[in-house]
Structure 1
Amino acid sequence: MIRIGLGYDKHVLTEGRKLILGGVIIPFEKGEAGHSDGDLLLHAITDALLGASGLGDIGSYFPPSEPQWKDADSAILLKKCWSDVKDAGWKLVNLDCVIALEKPKFLPYREQVCQSIANILEVEKTQIFVKAKTGEKLGDVGQGRAVEAWAVCLLEKTES
């Protein structure tokens, strides 16, 4: 059996926070506002994996109303969810992601981000791809006020 999952997240960019994408700190004067560390790419990936496996979503696992998740490391949250997905008999075929970000340029960090995600999920880097688009100066993303991420995964059931 195979299943696809789609994850999405959007965060306001604000001064005084780190810009973290896929577990990698990207040098920039603004970062994602969020209850956890704000790594919206890992949040989108988490939702894609949980959705494909039918196990829920990131909000049901880690409600933002619970103080224990304040400033939590999104890589740890993803690892917990991925462990549950694997325990349910699923394996990752591939993961394809898009980041919408006006600045900074993402391309210099792409390989590092793909490797970071592969390391978190304990899969081959060839199973992970991340690309970026700008907002073409339109909307919240184009005006540099927000960042968005989408993730699509393909899972395959490894056991009956």
Structure 2
Amino acid sequence: MRTGIGIDVHPFAEGRKLVIGGVEIPSAKGLDGHSDADVLLHAVSDALLGAAALGDIGLHFPNTSQEFKDIDSMILLKHVKKLLDKEGFRIVNIDAMLLLEAPKIASYINEMRKNIARCLGLELNAVSVKATTNEKLGYIGREEGAAAHAVCLIQVKP
């Protein structure tokens, strides 16, 4: 068994869609980044890559490459799954935490879980997504950005 941890942060920006966990959420601002800036999927991807000792998303999907400009992060997560499969790993579970002050996303969490589970070929009960505010503290509390943390457990396929 191996564990991995992933953390991602993106600033909010005008004129961008807010996509978290593969779900487009109505908002005046979206997260800014080279890809679609899906902070949750980036943290999950980094956790999985780290558990398998395969580097991080910056190594596999550099923000200097036009190939990944505005790419849907579900595509990146699918590629991460293929890398783990190739190395002989099976994903056991994922637990993720979103940190953002607004908008409120509780009503979207189950859809996020379903997207991640479907993308990775997992049962829904193997994917946990939670959210919290930063109690108005720091860049998250000032609604300047959002962050996500994820941990995972993987094992070598028998």
- Amino acid in the other structure paired with 1:124: E
TM-score by length of 1: 0.96
Shift of 1:126: 0.6
Which residue of the partner structure matches residue 82 of structure 1? Answer: 81
- Amino acid in the other structure paired with 1:117: I
Distance 1:97 1:4 in 2: 13
- Amino acid in the other structure paired with 2:95: D
Gaps of 5+ in 1: none
- Amino acid in the other structure paired with 2:20: L
Distance 1:66 1:115 in 2: 29
1:102 and 2:88 are equivalent in the alignment: no
Shift of 1:99: 0.3
1:126 and 2:111 are equivalent in the alignment: no
SS at match of 1:118: helix
Shift of 1:154: 0.3
Runs of 4+ in structure 1 over 2 Å off: none
Q: How many percent identity over aligned positions?
A: 47
Shift of 1:32: 0.5
The residue correspondences of 1:9-158 to structure 2 (distance < 5 A) are: 9-158=8-157
Shift of 1:56: 1.2
- Amino acid in the other structure paired with 2:72: D
- RMSD, matched Cα: 0.8
Per-residue CA deviations over 1:86-130 (Å, capped at 9, x if unaligned) read 121111111000000101112111111100111111111110000
SS at match of 1:96: strand
Shift of 1:19: 0.8
- Amino acid in the other structure paired with 1:156: Q
Aligned residue pairs: how many? 158
Distance 2:68 2:92 in 1: 29
Shift of 1:156: 1.0
